[in-house]
Amino acid sequence: MRPYIEFKNVVKQFGNFTALDHVSLEIPKGAFVTLLGPSGCGKTTLMRQLAGFSEPESGDVLVDGKRMNGLPPFKRNTPLVFQEYALFPHMTVYENISYGLKLNKTPKEEMDRRVQEMLKMFNLVGLEKRFPKEMSGGQQQRVAFARALVMGQEILLLDEPLSNLDAKLRVDVRTELRQIQQKLGITTIYVTHDQDEALSMSDIIAVMRSGHIEQIGSPWEIYFRPANRFVADFVGTVNFLTARIVSAEGGTVAADHNGMLLQIPTEVPVEPGETVTLVVRPECIRLAEPGESVPEGKSLEGQIENYSFLGRIIRYWVRVGEEQFIIDDANVDLSGARSGAVQLCLDTRKLHILKDGGSHDT
C-alpha cells in the first residue's frame, strides 16, 4: 500500500549546517506519528518541509502521491499548531475558530454548524464570546486545535503544542487530543522532545539525531528494542550492562554479567565469546531481600544508596560493586522505602542486546 505522506531523501541546509541529511520517512493514512529527539536534531525542520514553510535543497515531499515541493503553505492543507497558540488576541473564541471558514466564504449556516462541532469536541461550549486573554492556557490550546481542524483537513501538524502547559494539564490535553485524532482518523505528525508524550500518544515514533532518523517503530519497539545506545538512552531511563556471550542457540542467548548467567530470548545474531551491551529498563529489575531464595546465579547482591518516592513507584539507586543500578519498584508499601542490602533479579524476557558493546550506533 502506498504511504499517505512520504519524505524521500530530504536534504535541508542552513548555510554550512545540514539540518536534514537525506531523511526518508513513510507515514500511513490515519497514523499518529511522533518525531522525537533532542533540540537541534531536525524534527521541526522536517515538519516544516511538509507544511511548506521551508523547501528542501534536494529530495521530495509527497502527500497521497502528489509532490508538494514548491507549493505555498495555503495550498497544502496541512495546518500547523504551535506551542505559542498563535491565536488572534482581538478575536473571540468563535471568531478565531471560524477565521479560515470566513476566508473561504463558507455560508453562515455551515460555518455555525462546523464551529459548534469543534466547540463540543474540545469542551469549549459556553466560551464562544471570550477573548484569549480571558482563558487558561489549556483552553487557548484547545481553541488552536479547533481552528486547525474546523476546515476538515486530513493532515494535522503539531509542533510541541503542549510544552507551555503544566504537567497535569498536559497529560489531560494529550489524552483528549489522542482520542479526537483516533475518532477523526486524521493523519497527525507530532514534534516533541518529551519521551512520555511520544510513548503515550503515538502509533509510530521516529527518533532523530543530528539530521538523521535513528529508528522508526512502535512505542514498544522503540522502548524495549532500541536500535542503538542513543535511542535506548534517550527514550526513557536505562541501565547498560556489559556481558559476554556464553552460548547462542534456538533463539536464546546465555550471557554472563559478573557471574550472573542470563538466558535471554533474542533474534540479535551473536557468537559465543562476543562482548555485548544489555539494555535493562528500571522496571525489569526486581528487588529481593538478602535471604530470599532466588535461582543460583540469577541475581546480584547490592546496597541501596538512594531512593525517590514517585507515588506509584519508588525509584532506587543500588550499588553493586563498581556499578550503580536504577530500579523502579511498583510494589510500594505504606511502611516506606527499603534500605540496606538487597538482591537484584532481572526479568530476562525484557532485556535487549546491543552488539559491539553498544558503542556502534546504526
pLDDT digit string, tens, across residues 189-248: 999 999 999 999 999 999 999 999 999 999 999 999 999 999 999 999 999 999 999 999
Q: Which of the four pLDDT bands, split at 50, 70 and 90, describes residue 297?
A: low
- 92 φ/ψ angles, rounded to the nearest 5 degrees: -75, 175
Arithmetic mean of pLDDT, 300-325: 94
Q: What is the pLDDT of residues 301-311, one digit of tens each?
A: 999 999 999 99
**How would you classify residue 340: left for phi > 0, otherwise alpha for psi between -120 and 50, otherwise beta?**
left
Taking the C-alpha atoms of residue 12 and residue 50, their distance in angstroms, rounded to an integer, is: 12
Q: What is the pLDDT at residue 344?
A: 93
pLDDT at residue 146 above 70? yes
Q: What is the pLDDT at residue 361?
A: 42
Dihedral of the alpha carbons of 154, 160, 166, 168, in degrees to the nearest 10: 50
Q: What is the pLDDT at residue 283?
A: 94
Q: What is the pLDDT at residue 74?
A: 85
Whole-model pTM: value is 0.90
Q: What is the pLDDT of residues 62-119, one digit of tens each?
A: 999 999 999 998 889 898 888 777 899 999 999 999 999 998 899 999 999 999 999 9
Taking the C-alpha atoms of residue 244 and residue 270, their distance in angstroms, rounded to an integer, is: 10
Grid cell digits, residue 226: 532500541
- 339 φ/ψ angles, rounded to the nearest 5 degrees: -150, 165
Residue 105, burial from CB neighbour count under 10 angstroms (0-12, 13-18, 19+): exposed
Q: What is the pLDDT at residue 335?
A: 79
For residue 16, give every residue at least 6 positions away whose Cβ sits within 8 Å of its Cβ, in sequence order, or none.
none
Cβ–Cβ under 8 Å, residues 116 and 146: no
What is the sign, positive or negative, of the torsion defined by CA atoms of 205, 208, 212, 214? negative
For residue 17, give every residue at least 6 positions away whose Cβ sits within 8 Å of its Cβ, in sequence order, or none.
none
Find the largest Cα–Cα distance for the chain.
Answer: 77
Taking the C-alpha atoms of residue 167 and residue 195, their distance in angstroms, rounded to an integer, is: 14
CATH says 5-233 is which class? alpha beta
Q: How many residues does the chain have?
A: 362
317 Cα distance to chain centroid: 25
State the chain's mean pLDDT as an integer: 92
pLDDT at residue 360 above 80? no
Q: What is the pLDDT at residue 117?
A: 94
Q: What is the pLDDT at residue 269?
A: 92
CA angle 27, 32, 36 (to 5 degrees): 85
- 116 φ/ψ angles, rounded to the nearest 5 degrees: -60, -35
Q: What is the pLDDT at residue 332?
A: 86
Q: What share of the chain is helix, strand, coil (3-state, %, to 5)?
A: 25, 35, 40
Q: Which of the four pLDDT bands, split at 50, 70 and 90, describes residue 357?
A: very low
Arithmetic mean of pLDDT, 318-329: 95
CATH of 237-358, one of 2.40.50.140, 2.60.40.420, 1.20.1050.10, 2.60.40.10: 2.40.50.140
Q: What is the pLDDT at residue 122?
A: 92
Q: Which of the four pLDDT bands, split at 50, 70 and 90, describes residue 358?
A: very low
Taking the C-alpha atoms of residue 287 and residue 326, their distance in angstroms, rounded to an integer, is: 11
Beta strands in 28-112 (DSSP E): 32-36, 58-63, 66-67, 80-82
Taking the C-alpha atoms of residue 274 and residue 103, their distance in angstroms, rounded to an integer, is: 65
Q: What is the pLDDT at residue 296?
A: 60
Q: What is the pLDDT of residues 256-265, one digit of tens each?
A: 998 889 999 9
For the chain, give every domain's residue range.
5-233, 237-358
Closest listed residue to residue 174, CA positions, set 154, 155, 153, 195: 195
> Which residue reads 550506533 in cell numbers?
361
pLDDT above 90 as % of the chain: 77
pLDDT at residue 12 above 90? yes
Q: What is the pLDDT at residue 85?
A: 72
Grid cell digits, residue 328: 523502579
| Residues paired with residue 193 on neighbouring β-strands, in sequence order | none
Q: What is the pLDDT of residues 14-33, one digit of tens each?
A: 999 999 999 999 999 999 99
